Amino acid sequence: MLKIVESPDAILSTMCEPCDVSDKTLKRLAKQMQHAMYKHGGCGIAAPQVGVTKRLVVIDVDWDGESRERNPIVLVNPEVVELRGEPEVGGEGCLSCPGVNVAVRRQPWACVRYLDLDGEEWEIEGDGLLGRCLQHEIDHLNGRTLFESCDPRIRLEALQAYERARAAGARPGDTSLSVGLEAEE
């Protein structure tokens, strides 16, 4: 089982290298990432969150954390093609920043181009949770954590809440402390 890398580990600030789709270890890594994501109740995970600096993401925004039905999408070398809409504030948790749910402003719709594990090119587009998850996970590939993505005005409060959550024993998947959301309502 892969271990979730937690902030402030330096690997989370690393710009990830493109994957070679002929690399036979990618399928195994994607399966291990899925397992880690589901185990911790996440809807997305990027390779640096498990200590691998490759441009690989797994998402499943349809999984509710309880059902057996899973529909993971593996994105190899994903790149944002287009973002649309007036930015909206929404709460985001992160497996690498356990214990906090932080207000992050993002455009609601995203279109992302990627390769599947067989090297075929695809585009995925979505709004709501899917649009937000795509942007969040690609941020990880570009060395940005939840804390760099949130408004600078709430960053200090978010980091302090994260330290309190860690001291209290927060584990990946826990988002018990909300930061910056009440001010946006």
User: Tens of pLDDT along 156-172?
Assistant: 999 999 999 999 899 99
State the pLDDT at residue 62. Answer: 83
pLDDT at 177: 74
Please give the C-alpha separations between residue 1 and each of 42, 44, 124, in angstroms, as whole numbers: 15, 17, 28
Class for the domain spanning 10-87+108-150:
alpha beta
Determine the 3-state secondary structure of 78 from DSSP. Answer: strand
For residue 31, the tally of other CB atoms under 10 A from its CB is 14
Per-residue confidence (pLDDT) for residue 178, from 0 to 100: 84
Q: What is the pLDDT of residue 51?
A: 98
- Euclidean distance between CA atoms 117 and 174, whole angstroms: 30
pLDDT of amino acid 8: 94
Helices and strands in the chain: count of H runs, count of E runs: 5, 8
pTM, entire model:
0.92
pLDDT, residue 96, reads 97
pLDDT at 69: 78
- Residues annotated as part of the active site: 137
Measured over the CA atoms of residue 27, residue 48, residue 133 and residue 77, the dihedral's sign is: negative
pLDDT of 182: 63
Domain locations in the chain? 10-87+108-150
- 10 Å CB burial of residue 95 (0-12, 13-18, 19+) is buried
Using 70 as the pLDDT threshold, list the residues of the chain that sit under it: 63-68, 182-185
